[in-house]
């Protein structure tokens, strides 16, 4: 089993990343924070929300299969009960890197979604946030990673 740091490095090595669950009302929404930071760090990032046409000034897609050219990795920032459908779509599309976002509370982590993905060869990071790791991190997220790793919200291994 790789460490979460190794899995994060592999995930963040991909440059075409979708973020599901971005909000039309972005105030402090985790998915939007991840989306904006990845975009600022030079990633080609795609917003996914079936109820929005535009998010953060960019076009928004209703699902992963609608993204022209597809993506290499997906950040799931939806409610946990939606995560399994997203994971099934990832498997269907051959997406092999998925990060279920979680900082405080359950976040987007679904045990059923993680199990389904892993059964189908997907590398699943079930917790934490891509912004807690280089090259996307900042001091605040690194401190959160330190604390949340100890509470179990960030997995030690994937």
- Is position 156 within any domain? no
Residue 157 belongs to a domain: no
Residue 155 lies in a domain: no
Please determine, for residue 80, whether its predicted confidence score (pLDDT) is greater than 70.
yes
pLDDT at 6 over 90: yes
Greater pLDDT, 79 or 157: 79
Distance from C-alpha of 125 to C-alpha of 128, rounded to nearest angstrom: 8
Average pLDDT of span 30-47: 94
Task: For residues 51 and 139, give the distance between their C-alpha atoms in angstroms, rounded to a whole number.
Answer: 33
Give the separation between CA 129 and CA 21, rounded to whole angstroms: 14
Whether residue 158 is contained in a domain is answered as: no
Inside any domain, residue 120 = yes
Kindly state whether residue 69 falls inside one of the protein's structural domains: yes
Mean pLDDT of the chain: 92
108-151 pLDDT tens trace: 899 999 999 999 999 999 999 999 999 999 999 999 899 888 88
Q: Is residue 68 a part of any domain in this protein?
A: yes
C-alpha 44/C-alpha 52 separation (Å) is 19
Kindly report, residue by residue over 13-32, the tens digit of the pLDDT.
999 999 999 988 766 677 89
Name the residue range of residue 141's domain: 4-150
Query: For residues 24 and 100, which has the higher predicted lDDT (pLDDT)?
Result: 100
Domain total in the chain: 1
We report the CATH number of the domain holding residue 140 as: 3.40.50.720
* Inside any domain, residue 10: yes
């Amino acid at each position: 089993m790789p460490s979460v740091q190794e899995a994060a490095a592999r995930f963040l090595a991909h440059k075409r990343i979708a973020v599901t669950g971005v909000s039309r009302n972005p105030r402090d929404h985790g998915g939007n924070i991840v989306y904006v930071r990845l975009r600022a760090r030079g990633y080609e990032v795609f917003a996914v929300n079936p109820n929005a046409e535009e998010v953060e000034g960019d076009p928004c897609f209703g699902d992963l299969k609608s993204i022209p050219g597809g993506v290499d990795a997906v950040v799931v920032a939806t409610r946990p009960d939606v995560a399994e459908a997203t994971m099934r779509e990832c498997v269907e599309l051959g997406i092999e890197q998925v990060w279920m976002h979680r900082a405080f509370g359950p976040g987007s982590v679904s045990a059923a979604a993680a199990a389904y993905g892993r059964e189908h060869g997907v590398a699943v990071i079930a917790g934490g946030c891509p912004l807690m790791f280089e090259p996307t991190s900042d001091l605040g997220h690194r401190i959160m990673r330190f604390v949340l790793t100890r509470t179990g919200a960030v997995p030690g291994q994937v």
